[in-house]
Amino acid sequence: MTFDARQTSRHDLFPGIAASRRLVLAMALGAGAASLIPKARAQGATKGIGIVGSGKIGGLIGTLWAAAGHPVLFSSRHPDTLKDLVTAAGPNARVGTPAEALAFGEAVLLAIPYNAYPDFGRANVQALAGRIVLDAGNTVRQRDGALDDEAKANGIGATSRKYLPGARIVRAFNSLPAHVFKENAHKNPPIALPIAADDPEALRIAVALVHDAGFDAVVTGGLDTAIKFQMGTGSKGFGLAVPAPDLRRILEV
């Protein structure tokens, strides 16, 4: 793969980045965070991002994107339960169903329990076709059983590819727990997140969205290289909150 995130600016990747909402992002990150949030430097409206799974990861990352100027649709089978999240995320956020999130905008962040992937993929075959999906799910033995065995045997990238047919998958936002994302968003220097994808355009958009959430992106390669930061395998890249040069060295990319 020839794409190199180190040589591409965030505006080249996703040219519609809008102004940061400093107050909203401070609320997302906690007290004292306002000084860490970058000033507005943006250029118009972006296409939207759907969030399927608006829990700790989806809720936080979606809020960071909304603060950066992206229209964000948080979703739930019970949308009324997300009113407080949407209010806190600010004027760029709205709420809807998972089906609406899949149809919304440029990309989708999928942050649901991994044991829901098979049913989710079967139920949304048409909606997933050609959709850019930032896949943040991890398998856990106690919860996922045979799926965890499959992911460890075949790699998490191949397993997600199987259960999300037709999607343009990018493994992203799975390598750290939510509280570490919250504590480190927009730090200087930024921490780096490993990401992997087969689709170059999906990868370009994902790199920009990682940056907009307040992190650097380190591309490990195609989707099968997601094993380098797969949970539960002893991989070198899982659980690391380090700057990009260090992560590249550790992962040898």
pLDDT of res. 42: 35
**Domains in the chain, start-ordered, CATH in brackets?**
5-251 (3.40.50.720)
pLDDT of res. 46: 59
- pTM, to two decimals: 0.84
Q: Is the dihedral of CA 79, 85, 89, 91 positive or negative?
A: positive
Q: CA end-to-end span of the chain, whole Å?
A: 12
Q: Which two tokens stand for residue 98?
A: 């998972």
Amino acid type, 5: A
pLDDT of res. 10: 42
Radius of gyration from C-alpha coordinates of the chain = 17
Q: Which letter, b or e, does each residue of 147-177 get, where b requires 16 or more Cβ atoms within 10 Å of its Cβ?
A: bbebbbeebbbebbbebbebbbbbbbbbbbe
- Residue (of 49, 57, 25, 47) closest to 38 by Cα position: 25
Residues in a beta bridge with 50? 73, 108
Round to whole Å and give the CA distance between 35 and 131. 36
**At 221, phi and psi to the nearest 5?**
135, -150
Please give the helix or strand (H or E) that residue 58 lies within, else none: helix 56-67
**At 192, phi and psi to the nearest 5?**
-110, 145
pLDDT of res. 33: 34
Q: Do the beta carbons of residue 189 and residue 197 sit within 8 Å?
A: no
Q: pLDDT tens, 184-211?
A: 999 999 999 999 999 999 999 999 999 9
Q: Do the beta carbons of residue 237 and residue 229 sit within 8 Å?
A: yes
pLDDT of res. 162: 97
Could you tell me whether strands 93-96 and 107-110 are parallel, antiparallel, or unpaired per DSSP bridges? unpaired
Q: Which two tokens stand for residue 176?
A: 């750290």
pLDDT of res. 105: 85
Residues of the chain below pLDDT 50: 1-45
